[in-house]
Amino acid sequence: MNPTRRQAPLLAPSLLSADFGNLQAETEMLAASAADWLHFDVMDGRFVPNISFGIPVLEAVHRYARQPIDVHLMIEEPQHYLSAFRDAGAAIITVHYEACTHLHRVVQQIKQLGCRAGVALNPHSPVSLLEDIAADLDVVLIMSVNPGFGGQAFIPNTLRKVAQLKELLVDSGSSALIEVDGGVTLDNAPALVAAGADVLVAGSFVFKDGDPVGTLARMRAELAPEALETND
C-alpha cells in the first residue's frame, strides 16, 4: 500500500441550494446518493447578512436523513444554541473563529455534547490562528467564499490556505479533517484534494442541473484516488 496514496474526499452537499419547498423529498433523495454528510448552513442575519435555516428545519431534515448532518453555524454567540442543535440532529457542529471570544471553551462544549467539533475560518483569517487549538478539533472548515450567500465564485487563494492548514495540522499532531465550503466544482475539486482537503461542500454545483444524485456520482467517480492519480 502506498502511504502517500490519496484518499477519496467526503462529499457534503449543501442543503442551502436544495429546494426549500421539498426538503423532505430532497433529503430522502440524497439518502440514496454518494453523499457522505449533509451540510446544513445556519445564518442569523448578524454574523452574516442573510437568514437561513433554524432548529425546527434541522429537526425535520433529521427525520429523513441517512447521512450525518454537518451543521455550520454562521451565527453570533453560538455557545447559547449548541445543545439545541445537537438535540435537533447535528452530528458535527462547526462554529466560526471570528464569532467566538472563548473558542476553546466552545469547542469543549461541542465535544461534551457528543458531537464532532469544527471551527471555520473566513477568507481573511489565516490558518495560524488555530495553532493553539488544532489538536482539539475534529474538523477545520475553510471558507472558499465569503459566508452568507450561495452561488459565489471560488477564491483561488483557498488552495494555498488548505496546503498551509494541512502542514499546521501535521505539525500539531491533529487528526482534524479539512473541509472546504464555497464554489466547489469538479474544476477545482481535484486541486483541493491534492492540497489536503478531506471534505468537500458543494451546493450550487450539485443541485443546479436538477440531478444531484447523478452529479454526486460523477464527483465520486472523478475524485476516486485512481482517477486523481491518472490525471496527475
Fill in the DSSP letter of residue 154. Answer: P
Distance (Å, whole) CA 213 – CA 85:
27
CA distance 117 to 101: 16
Measuring CA to CA, which residue among 204, 188, 133 is closest to residue 165? 133
Q: Three-state DSSP class for 199?
A: strand
CA distance linking residue 216 with residue 207, whole number of Å: 9
In the residue annotation, 36 being an active-site residue is answered as no
Inter-residue long-range contacts of 148-152, CB under 8 Å, 24+ positions, other chains counted? 148/43, 148/48, 148/49, 148/50, 148/74, 149/50, 150/14, 150/16, 150/17, 150/203, 150/204, 151/17, 151/203, 151/204, 152/182, 152/183
Grid coordinates given for 76: 453570533
In terms of DSSP H, where are the helices of the chain? Answer: 23-31, 55-64, 82-88, 103-112, 158-172, 189-195, 204-207, 212-222, 225-231
Is 70 catalytic? The answer is: no
From 36, 136, 181, 198, active-site residue? 181
Q: Using alpha carbons only, give the angle 73, 74, 75 rounded to the nearest 5 degrees.
A: 90
Catalytic-labelled residue, pool 36, 41, 44, 138: 41
Catalytic residues: 41, 181
